[in-house]
Amino acid sequence: MPAARDQDETWVQGLWSLGLTLTLQGEQAAAHETAAACRRAAEAGLDAEGLGRAAYLDGLLHLLEGRPSPR
């Protein structure tokens, strides 16, 4: 089912893009929710690149909020 896998990866990439946009707009609460959704979608689809995207988003949020470690 390559089409389903491609769909999952596209969904994860879309969530990452939304999370990045929310972060840059200063909407941290919504960005945290989107990052969590991105991580869940990547885990469900066994998407290693998606997990990297989620980790990047988490790291960026923590960096901009001045927190060196997750909540």
For 4-48, what is each residue's pLDDT tens digit?
555 678 889 999 999 999 999 999 999 999 999 999 999 888 889
| Confidence at 1, pLDDT banded by 50, 70, 90 | very low
Cβ-Cβ contacts under 8 Å for 22 (sequence gap 6 or more): 28, 30, 31, 34
Segment 48-68, tens digit of pLDDT: 999 999 999 999 998 988 866
In this prediction, residue 7 carries a pLDDT of: 63
- 48 CB-near residues (< 8 Å, 6+ apart): 42
What is the reported pTM? 0.79
